[in-house]
Amino acid sequence: MPKPTTTRRLTTEAGAPIADNQNSATAGLGGPLLLQDQHLLEKLARFNRERIPERVVHARGSGAYGYFEVTDDITGFTRADFLSAVGRRTDLFIRFSTVADNLGGPDAARDPRGFAVKFYTEEGNYDLVGNNTPVFFIKDPLKFPDFIHSQKRDPFTGKQEPDNVWDFWAHSPEATHQITWLMGDRGIPASYRHMNGYGSHTYQWTNAAGEAFFVKYHFKTNQGIRCLDADQGADLSGKDPNSHQTDLLQSIERGVYPSWTLYVQVMPSAEAAGYRFNPFDLTKVWPHTDYPLQRVGRLVLDRNPDNVFAEVEQSAFSPNNFVPGIGPSPDKMLQGRLFAYADAHRYRLGVNHSQLPVNAPKATVAHNYGRDGLMASNAYDRHAKNYEPNSYGGPAQSDLPLSAPLALTGHTGTHAAPAHTKDDDFFQAGELYRLMSEGEKNRLVANIAGGLAQVARDDVVEKNLAHFHAADPEYGKRVEAKVHELRED
């Protein structure tokens, strides 16, 4: 027997040494394989089970580790411990992603980008799950499955269909603002490093005195905004479908650490009810003239994952992972995500997904009475009880709510969002259009018309054109002219 060239022996999953990893056991020289070859069977069986269900949305992603450092005193707005002192650092993990395509899709697609941050705080993990746009296509989670179905592969043709995409948008005028973002110059970021991130939703902060504020998060890239036009995106997608992954990996490996500055907009809770539009509407932004950006700190990424599957694909973010001083708002889309995200991870990864290293708390220890289930660890106190209350000194409730209570009134039922004096599905889309340069407007119109001109039904085209006309008359006229031009060719 040749002597091994390494002190680390190859073993089975049970730890037994493997004598031969090059040849299967057979019934004699050249004979059939043997069922008793445990190593072969274990190896093939495990290979068959290497893949887990991919995320329904945000399947294609990249991640990195880093830290968040507080640079400004914001203790007047929140009692969150990890934000309590200038200079304080908190470890974190971030996952960037595209939304609509499958795991093998190109990074340089025209698509919103996920921007999900897991802060490993001393009071538990805080997950801030947002996008690279401050708004979204819809404002009620009841519409989310239908929206995603319209954007994903058609069940008959097996590919994304412009008819489906634009038909849904034709019946969802509130999408006009996000469509203007998506079809504009920021619709294809040049890399994950060169885009902003937003919490998008409205959240609640509570300070030590119990005062409540509503906030919106803005992560401004310190690398500067860089984007690709449609032709550049298509070219890069063909040359390097992993372009954003490559860029993030290589920049961190060579010590060029990407960073973002976090700002928040802060609205005293008493101002929400009388604000001119619904401040909890995910299809709208708060004008900075009303609520200026206030700096909080700096996010830096300085370490790549060692294993993409274990740490990026198995990372699980949920908006309901709050810490004391931070909580939800009445934002209906956020409320729906409080359930949907955690439930998606229970399906994909199992009920014990929070015990995986990338998801487990790092600055504290989880103490609860959850037990058993697939892949349960044995990391429990010896002889600990699995019920509460008990007489054995098990973990007990804190009696300190994470955030201030939200006021409720009225009757249960399916209600439209409450009307504010300036609620409108089109005004902010028009404002965004009017902020654009002539070149930006030309590219926006070309991107919209390029998809809309492919729609078969004239009534669907007309409904969408009406939305752009309502946002801004010039906007509508230019899109309409370009669509007619393309349809006549």
Query: Could you give the CA distance from residue 50 to residue 160 in angstroms, rounded to a whole number?
Result: 28
Q: Which of 125, 131, 132, 196 is catalytic?
A: 131
Lowest mean pLDDT among 36-45, 252-261, 444-453: 36-45
Query: Could you give the CA distance from residue 383 to residue 453 in angstroms, rounded to a whole number?
Result: 67
- Maximum separation of any 2 CA atoms in the chain, in Å: 85
Q: Which of 21, 23, 39, 58 is catalytic?
A: 58
Q: What is the rounded average pLDDT of the residues 73-77?
A: 97
pLDDT band at 389 (very low <50, low <70, confident <90, very high): confident
pLDDT at 151 over 90: yes
pLDDT band at 119 (very low <50, low <70, confident <90, very high): very high
pLDDT band at 240 (very low <50, low <70, confident <90, very high): very high
Is 194 catalytic? The answer is no
Contact 280, 202 (CB under 8 A): yes
- List Cβ neighbours of 73 (8 Å cut-off, separation of 6 or more): 86
Rg (CA), the chain: 26
Predicted structure pTM score: 0.93
What integer pLDDT is reported at residue 3 of this predicted model? 56
Q: What is the rounded average pLDDT of the residues 45-58?
A: 92
pLDDT band at 211 (very low <50, low <70, confident <90, very high): very high
What integer pLDDT is reported at residue 423 of this predicted model? 86
pLDDT at 4 over 60: no
Is 222 catalytic? The answer is no
What percent of the chain stands above pLDDT 70? 98
For the chain, the residue count is 489
Nearest to 454 by CA among 482, 425, 421: 482
pLDDT band at 127 (very low <50, low <70, confident <90, very high): very high
What integer pLDDT is reported at residue 407 of this predicted model? 85
pLDDT band at 152 (very low <50, low <70, confident <90, very high): very high
The count of other CB atoms within 10 Å of the CB of residue 102 is 13
pLDDT at 5 over 60: no
**Two tokens at 50?**
């290497």
pLDDT band at 380 (very low <50, low <70, confident <90, very high): low
What percent of the chain stands above pLDDT 90? 82
Contact 97, 60 (CB under 8 A): yes
What integer pLDDT is reported at residue 447 of this predicted model? 97
Using omega within 30 degrees of 0 as the cis cutoff, is the peptide bond preceding 361 cis? no
Cα 220 to chain centroid, rounded: 16
Query: Could you give the CA distance from residue 187 to residue 112 in angstroms, rounded to a whole number?
Result: 7
**Two tokens at 110?**
């025209």
Query: 144-151 and 332-349 helices cross at what angle (nearest 10)?
Result: 70
